[in-house]
Amino acid sequence: MQNIQENYLQKYFCKIKCIKSIDKIKKYDNIKLRKRFRKTFSLAK
């Protein structure tokens, strides 16, 4: 049980990091960067 909870927390924190990264990319508003990030993000899923 404990192992599953730890795994869930790691995924949750990873999502928060990803969301923060997306916000940074939106601030820069760089289309090339966004496309590259989407590709890596879809591969990470």
Whether this model's pTM surpasses 0.95: no
Decide if 11 contacts 26 (C-beta within 8 A).
Answer: no
Say which residue, 11 or 29, is predicted with more confidence.
Answer: 11
Between residues 41 and 7, the one the model is more confident about: 7
Residue 34: is it exposed, middle or buried by C-beta count within 10 angstroms (0-12/13-18/19+)?
Answer: middle
Q: For 19-40, what is the mean pLDDT?
A: 73
Q: How many whole angstroms separate alpha carbon 43 and alpha carbon 39?
A: 6
What integer pLDDT is reported at residue 17 of this predicted model?
86
Distance of CA 36 to the CA centre of its chain: 13
Judge whether 25 and 37 are in contact, CB under 8 Å.
Answer: yes
